[in-house]
Amino acid sequence: MQPIDLDKEKKEILNKYRTLLRSCSDKTNKKDKKEIRSAFNFAMEAHKNIRRKSGEPYIYHPIAVAQIVAKELSLGKTSIICALLHDVVEDTDFTLDDIKRNFGKKVAKIIDGLTKIQDVFDKNVSLQAENFRKMLLTLSDDVRVILIKLSDRLDNMRTLDSLSKNKQLKIASETLYLYAPLAHRLGLYPLKTELEDLGLKFTKSEVYKAIAEKLQETKDERKKYITKFSKPIKLKLKENKINFKIQGRPKSIFSIRNKMITKGVDFDNVFDKFAVRIIVDSNLEDEKSDCWKIYSVVTDFYKPNPDRLRDWISTPKENGYESLHTTVMGDDGKWVEVQIRSKRMDDIAEKGYAAHWRYKQKNNKENSLDNWIEKIRELLENPESNAIDFIDDFKLNLYSGEIFVFTPAGDLKTLPKKATALDFAFDIHTDIGLKCMGIKVNGKLVSLSHQLNSGDQVEVITSKKQRPSKDWLRFVVTSRAKSKIKSALKQDKKKIAIVGKEIAERKLRHLKIKLNQKTETELIKHFETGDSLELYFRFGTAAISNTEIKHFANLKNRGWYHTIKNKIYGPGKFKIKEKSEKIIVFNETEDILDYKLASCCNPISGDAIFGFVTVTDGVKVHRFDCPNSIQLRSNYSYRILSGKWINKDDIDFMATINIRGIDSVGLINKVTQIISNHMNVNIKSININTEDGIFEGIITLKIHNVSFLKQLTKKLEKIEGISSISRTYKHQ
């Protein structure tokens, strides 16, 4: 091992620090530099004698993060100070109070957001997910936490070679799963591209290496081609006295790999590896018309592909990105992507949220990125979601494409691709979503699950009597809609549980049993409900039959004589309830699918689990903490199914009731009132026919068990005019 040259290291640290100061010289004054120096000295003292896995002094890392923050994100003094101090509380003996005392409340709050949660008591939750959620909580206060964290992650990825293979795989998978999409969402395209490429390098090293070598081999050829392609455009723009610059833009390795997979082609057949960017220097009033002038010049020389025009100038992306994209046919039959934008648009595209904020301050103009951050705040405020649910919901709003739809008044709304009519209703307002009874798209009535397309004009029909259904969770895609529906369903469940408790008290009193804390605990254990809310909800929905309650009472009332007698003669006629066989159901809709337990982690009943759809072997079930889980979630999130263990007895059934009788005014209303209001059942479909005074109805319901269906039938038979009710049922 080579001896450490401490003098050489000191010089290197000083050089890195001076480079950092040069990177922020245009954004800092003498006082700012003094404060940055103070933070640098504090970090030097805190991390002295600590080294990275590579053997380098640890201080190299905070300086590198501060350099990314200053140069690549153009952030100012506070962010640079926080970047220098970001690991102090987590990795040294200094506390948040020390930071607060020396650098103030704001810096301490940002450092707190950057400090990982050290321990989580619930072993079923993902520590990584909890840390990520904690970091995002600071969105409501200071987005700089996320910008510094992304810079921290980028430096970690750049220096990942020194770690073990397992560590590399874990960190790279997290990066691809969460951090690269987050950089994309905040408009940090250079960071996002580098994070993706490095993520691919450490998760699919052979693929990365093969594409990188191909790009290197074709580098000179591509450069010559772009120079030749650009020449006539440059001459024409100069003639028109347009102030511009034009540059070649290499496609990222990650995006080429994605194209190869999605299009099913090899490297040579990825058709738009050639790309140029034209940046026009014009003022705010003229930039849109100048971009279209340049588009006109480009298409004078080269034929555009009509399906590849993207106008993000008229309608910017939700992350603030503005640009005009077209793909044109160059010489030799090669497709070239051309991006046209103003200097301001380019600054926002390169520096993301930091630049967006700077221009917003100048123009005092709200941006859709602010709306997105508002939605994330709303998601974070939902007390019902655990960390992993939150991450899954959050991911929905990161990488999804966008569609643009209109309200009846002509207001433009941005929604993720595959958004449904019901997602639109929730995007307008929570109450409109919860009371949504129907939707008209372009004047025609459609189902709530109808997928919207760009350009649709959407009108929501509401009713005070409407309430959300669990079935809605099956098709909504926005996190806002999901969290609001879940919250409303829980409130409905609580209301039913209040009635259920009264039913339980009454039925137990009839059996000479008092409902107290002890009895409640025994009931939860006996019926395996897990908690009191689920117990009383089952009473409220008649899922627990009178026979089952009597059985519980008999077990409770047998006392010491029967206990001794059972030991001598064996149990009497009342058998202790056998534990129901547990099975796994998938997704919010609790689908019953064929599955196998993964041999890599061998999940058992009660483990937190998820399903993974394999290519050849159906659904494999893994534990949440399975060593392969992050890689599966990172690279194949679209093939992940949420899963949970349930008792076989608890599976809901689809039941069809055939009702016949004499037609009379209000008859169908009485039927639906009993089903919906008195029995708290979901009506899946209803079909009514009347002919010559005879009424016939076919109603499909979602019910819990056969005894429950018998009770419902008895209530319906009491309605005057109904002559017969027949039924069939099957698993959902």
Structure tokens at 721: 């005019």
386, with CB counted inside 10 A (0-12, 13-18, 19+), is middle
Instruction: Tell me the DSSP string of 427-455.
Output: HH-HHHHHTEEEEEETTEEE-TTPBP-TT
Q: Which of 91, 286, 374, 381 is catalytic?
A: 91
| Nearest Cα residue to 630 out of 199, 193, 110 | 199
Strand order in the sheet with 694-703: 682-691, 694-703, 653-662, 722-731
H or E stretch at 406: strand 402-406
Say which residues have a Cβ less than 8 Å from residue 675's Cβ, sequence separation at least 6.
681, 683, 699, 701, 712, 716
Euclidean distance between CA atoms 487 and 397, whole angstroms: 19
H or E stretch at 342: strand 335-342
Contact 394, 379 (CB under 8 A): yes
Mapping DSSP to helix (H, G, I), strand (E, B) and coil, where does residue 146 land? helix
90 is catalytic: yes
CA gyration radius for the chain?
32
Contact 85, 106 (CB under 8 A): no
471 DSSP assignment = G
Q: Which amino acid is at 710?
A: K
91 is catalytic: yes
Instruction: Tell me the DSSP string of 60-128.
Output: HHHHHHHHIIIIIS---HHHHHHHHHTTHHHHSS--HHHHHHHH-HHHHHHHHHHSPP---S-TTS-HH
Structure tokens at 52: 């990275």
Q: Which of 5, 7, 72, 90 is catalytic?
A: 90
Q: Which amino acid is at 67?
A: Q
Q: Treating both helix axes as pointing N-terminal to C-terminal, what angle do 105-114 and 144-158 enclose, rounded to 10 degrees?
A: 50
Contact 317, 334 (CB under 8 A): no
425, with CB counted inside 10 A (0-12, 13-18, 19+), is buried
Euclidean distance between CA atoms 322 and 347, whole angstroms: 10
Distance from CA of residue 89 to its chain's centroid?
A: 29
Distance from CA of residue 445 to its chain's centroid?
A: 30
Q: Which amino acid is at 252?
A: S
| Nearest Cα residue to 378 out of 482, 488, 494, 491 | 482
Euclidean distance between CA atoms 519 and 554, whole angstroms: 13
Helix, strand, coil percent values for the chain (each to nearest 5)? 55, 15, 30
Euclidean distance between CA atoms 359 and 321, whole angstroms: 13
Rounded to the nearest 10°, the torsion over CA 675, 533, 375, 126 is -130
Enzyme catalytic residues? 90-91
